[in-house]
Structure 1
Amino acid sequence: MTIATERQITLENFLKLPETKPASEFINGEILQKPM
């Protein structure tokens, strides 16, 4: 299952966020959680 956030952010701001488990991806201004 993929979970997306509702907000759009910049790549610069995404890279400042702490790592998550499972890992997140930045695609087209959205943060998506990678499937396990």
Structure 2
Amino acid sequence: MYNITKKIDQTSVKVFITNKVFTLKRIFSLLQTCVLIF
């Protein structure tokens, strides 16, 4: 039981990190676009 919970926790952490990185990349590219325009 403990192992299953641990596995699920690791997966959710990976998904969380992936989402954060994706969001940061989007924000960064938006900033770059703004800088290029100005």
Fold match by TM threshold 0.5: no
Q: Which has the higher strand share?
A: 1
> For the pair shown, which has the larger CA radius of gyration, 1 or 2?
2
Q: Larger relative contact order (C-alpha < 8 A, sep ≥ 6)?
A: 1
In the superposition, the TM-score normalised over structure 2's length comes to 0.21
Q: TM-score, with normalisation over the residues of structure 1?
A: 0.21
